[in-house]
Amino acid sequence: MPGNSIGHTLVLTTFGESHGPAVGGILDGFPSLIDIDLDFIQSELNRRRAGQTFFSSARKEDDLFEILSGVFEGKSTGAPIAFLVRNTDAKPEHYLQLKDAYRPSHADFTWEKKFGFRDYRGGGRASARETLARVIGGALAKLYLRKQGISVTGYVSQIGSCSLDENFILKDTAAILSSPVGCPDPETEAKMIGLLEAVKADGDTLGGAISCRINGVPAGLGEPVFDKLSADLAKAMLSIPSVKGFEYGSGFSAAGMKGSEHNDLYITRNRAITTETNRSGGIQGGISNGNEIFFRVAFKPVASLMKDQETVNREGEKVVIKGKGRYDVCVVPRAIVIVEAMAALVITDHHIMQRQPEG
């Protein structure tokens, strides 16, 4: 398979460029007889839409989606579900200065080396606008998971130098949706907003991190030895533009621990076998154990600045990229729904794959 598909049994294939006619995708392998809630899908798209806060791009598009197949009388039919979002606010003339110049820390140079050619309008295929299709695919996956009692909740745990306390416990998921930065702790949220204002004033941008928690996953999901649930989550997250790292459960902190500190001891609680602690992040040996799955994803700062940047053009000559266009100060709040979408796709894929053992 070429690179524009992800999944084993449930496969999302996406298409579309930032300034082409449309972005969209096909979700194949989606089970039949699932109620397709169009309003929910639109509400998920709205969560990633630009132009809603002072720190997000001013690109204004309604991002209205259309489903082209696979749904009949409000239900999935088992046929592939194709969908698209038309690009309506594409302003390719903004990007003419990028025709020959390579923007720092963008994919312009590498894409051109790979294909000998690139659609230079706004990043073309490498634009994060492609993630619209992921959000729609993920929303469909969430409709499946909801029926299984599984929920996926992401939130911003870091923006630049501001982080949630390490021992923060998520209680109020509504606070995530109402927070402009997607951070459920009001105190940290306030600091993040202050930091964003300062950085914006300076024409600069910020990185950050998203935490994600998945509840209700039964034990047994994940395929040894390569398609571990953790390995598929890692790949899905690293496939999101700007992501630089992934850790689950104890993550990188495990490297500094002793076995006696780290092990999750098995106990019996309410007549069910579970573990006392959850440093495993709900996954052992690559297979879910029935506990909450949690992981964290690091995003680099947005590479497009409001400041001028030096770079070179195709001939290797120095040129200056002017700081203009419609850029985000920080994409992490808009990326929550993308992280959730990719997680929902992975969990659904593995849920469909898992068969009850015979006998």
Nearer residue to its own copies within complex by CB, 64 or 79? 79
From the CB of 102, what's the least distance to its own copies, in Å?
5
Size of residue set near its own copies by CB under 8 A: 157
- Report CA 109 to chain centroid distance, whole Å: 24
Instruction: Single out the residue of 73, 85, 80, 11 nearest to residue 41, CA to CA.
Output: 85
From the CB of 160, what's the least distance to its own copies, in Å?
6
| Single-letter residue type at 350 | H
Q: Which of 43, 46, 58, 72 binds its own copies (CB under 8 A)?
A: 72
Q: Which of 122, 137, 154, 160 binds its own copies (CB under 8 A)?
A: 160
Nearer residue to its own copies within complex by CB, 174 or 270? 270
Q: Which of 38, 64, 96, 267 binds its own copies (CB under 8 A)?
A: 267
Q: Are 126 and 107 in contact (CB under 8 A)?
A: yes
From the CB of 165, what's the least distance to its own copies, in Å?
16
Site for its own copies in 185-204 (CB under 8 A): 199, 204
Q: Which of 39, 93, 166, 310 binds its own copies (CB under 8 A)?
A: 310
Nearer residue to its own copies within complex by CB, 11 or 136? 11
Site for its own copies in 39-68 (CB under 8 A): 66-68
CB atoms within 10 A of CB 137: 30
Q: Which of 178, 257, 322, 324 binds its own copies (CB under 8 A)?
A: 257
Cα–Cα dist 199/229, whole Å: 37
Q: Are 268 and 198 in contact (CB under 8 A)?
A: no
Q: Which residues of 298-335 are buried (b: 16+ CB within 10 A; e: fewer)?
A: bbbbbbbbbeebebeeeeeeeeebeeebbbbbbbbbbb
Looking up tokens 């999901």, which residue turns up?
221
Nearer residue to its own copies within complex by CB, 87 or 153? 87
Site for its own copies in 269-308 (CB under 8 A): 271-273, 275, 279-281, 283-290, 298-305, 307
Nearer residue to its own copies within complex by CB, 109 or 168? 109
Q: Which of 74, 149, 165, 244 binds its own copies (CB under 8 A)?
A: 244
Write the binding mask 103 to 142 for its own copies: x where contact by CB under 8 A, - elsewhere.
-xxxx-xxx-xxxxxxx----xxx---x------------
- Report CA 219 to chain centroid distance, whole Å: 24
Instruction: Single out the residue of 337, 311, 336 nearest to residue 322, CA to CA.
Output: 311
Tokens of 205: 């941008």
SS3 99: coil
